[in-house]
Structure 1
Amino acid sequence: MSASTLDMRKNRTAVFAVLMALGMLALGFAAVPLYRMFCQVTGFAGTTQVASESDAARAARFADSAAARTISIRFDGNTASDMPWTFHPEHPTDTVTIGQRDMAIYIAKNNSDERITGTATFNVEPEQAGAYFNKIQCFCFTEQVLEPGQEVRMPVLYYVDPKALDDPNMKGVEQITLSYTFHRALDLAE
């Protein structure tokens, strides 16, 4: 084998290795949004659904029927260890009619002497309930900015989809927990 053929093979192998590394890097960056999209579509890992007003109206028609049932919703609020906020639900539990819109209020207070931007992550338990827990409006859809010492009331407008009653995996579920954790938002200006 000639030296030029050997060099050509080495160059081709190097280009292939660089392309593979770039492809793996791209997949690494794409993994989080792709996983989030998968969870939102399927309700996997307790991810709630985002509902439109027309979806809520359809569910409300069901709630007005004689077949409507109630379910207990437990609310939970936490903060990351580096987040100097107090964050909790106004009421820890509520009983709602399946298909009917309801609202929960969470209270956040910035206990520091600096302006802090926070973002909330959420989860629903049991996991199979995530596909049926629909949020119409939520503070978790956007970043929240609190000035030093500021306290705010933040609403979550939601409903439990009546389709949950037809799911055998939801049989026996008497309570759904909606849990939020506030984290400091990344400051891209730094």
Structure 2
Amino acid sequence: MTGLVDALLIAAVAALVIVRQFRASRIGAGERWWLAPAVLTVVALREPALIDAHHRTESVLLLGAELLIGVATGAAWAWTTRIWAEPDGTVWSKGTRASAVVWVAGIALRIALFALGAGLGVKQDTSALLLALAITLLVRGGILTWRARSSRPTPEQSPAYGDTVSRPAWKEHV
């Protein structure tokens, strides 16, 4: 893929994810939350320019830092997301102001990392950014799914079959 197509893909995915995080959305038990990160990972790893051949050490360090920022952003994003369970057992999530701060901080750190790489003369491709975005979404999805499972009512809290049926009082026969 060309750099322009990668940049547009990154912008589209980020915009979609950012807009959706501020609307209440249902967290389903059987959802494939890992699918988008898997697709982004495949697209990122298909590019041969993930590491600059002329600056291997610097490039690997920058990639490692990018991935660490992705993990930290995904975890912070997941932990700043509000989760609640409805009486019917459905679990919902919605981003908070703190989630927006996490996104701004993550973007600022990635810009700083890109500037550092440019200052070192490292040729940087968008595949590292795609991979970091995939890691961010994967970590966030995993933590949200885990948090959603712990938010669902346990079987002891759930009504049993027939609990809503009123029973007549027992009368003693003599």
Higher relative contact order (CA 8 A, sep 6+): 2
More strand by share: 1
- TM-score normalised to the size of structure 2? 0.31
